[in-house]
Copies of this chain bind each other. A is one copy, B any other.
C-alpha cells in the first residue's frame, strides 16, 4: 500500500463534431492534479483545493472529485479507510474542456492507487461518471472516459457505460483554443432542441460511422470529410459570437476539421502532422489576440495515457 499518490488527469474534447455525447478524446495538457494520502481519521475528506478561486465545495457530497472517490471506496468496501484528497485545479471551469471530468477521473485513479485496489480503469469508470454527474446533472462519459482511459473513446451506451477505445492515428494532433468566457454546460445543454430532423440524423449517423472507420483505416481524408456537425454546432454556436469567423479561418489552414469542444466556448481542431497543427495553433492565438480576449491555446498529440501517477 501507498501512503501518498499524486495523479494527473487530462482535459478532454467531447463530441468531436459528429459524435454528440458519444465521442471524446484526451489531450496532453492542461489537466488537474489530485493528491490522495492516508490519514488517521476514518473515511474520506477533502483537505485542500487550489486553483478554483474558492468556487468548489469541500463537501464530499457536492464535490465532483470527492463524490467520485467516495463512490469508488463504497464499491470496494473501503469507505472507512482514512483518506485525504487534495484537488489542484489547473484548468478553467465551464470551458468545454472537461474540467469536472478530469477531477473525477483523477480522484478515482488516485484512490485506486492509494488503496492498491488492483482494478482496471474500466472498473473505476462508473464511480467517476457519478462524480461528474454532480457537476452537470447528466450521466454521460464522453469527457470522463477519455480523461480516465486516454485516447479516443466511443460510448455506445451511456447508461451501461459500454465503451470502445478507438485506434489513434499516429499523426493526429489536436489543438484547443480556450477563450476566457464562461459557458455553463447546463446552459449549453438547455439551448438544444429536444428533436432532430430525420434527414439530419441520417447525415450525422453517416459522418459518425465514417469517422470511426477513418480511425481504423488510418484515413485522414475520411476523418476530415466526416467532421461535420449538422445538429449541435448550429445551435450552440449562437452562444459563441465569433465562432463562424474562427471556423472559416481555421478551415483555410488545411486542418482536418474544427468544431466546438464539448459545450464550448472552447474550439478544437484536428490536424495531420505537427506542422499543420502548429499553423492551427498560431491562428488560434492571433485570432483571440486580435479580439483582445484572454485565452489559452493547447496543441498536442492525443493523450493515450489518460489519468496517471506523476
Contacts and interface: CB of A to CB of B under 8 A. Distances in A.
A304 interface: no
B205 A198 contact: no
A137 interface: no
A210 B20 contact: no
Size bracket of the A interface: 35 or more
A208 B208 contact: yes
A203 B212 CA distance: 16
Quick one: copies of this chain in the complex?
A: 2
Nearest to A165: B213
Contacts of A162: 206, 210, 225
A22 interface: yes
A19 interface: yes
B209 A198 contact: no
A74 interface: no
B21 A207 contact: no
Given A19-B205, A204-B205, A198 B195 contact: yes
A19 B209 contact: yes
Contacts of A157: 203, 206-207, 225
A192 interface: yes
A274 interface: no
A149 B72 CA distance: 50
A222 interface: yes
Most buried by B among A156, A196, A211, A213: A156
Nearest to A232: B198
Nearest to A163: B210
A198 B138 CA distance: 14
Given A157-B207, A196-B201, 16 more contacts: A21-B202, A22-B205, A157-B206, A158-B206, A162-B206, A164-B217, A194-B199, A195-B198, A198-B231, A201-B204, A201-B231, A208-B209, A212-B212, A212-B216, A213-B216, A216-B216
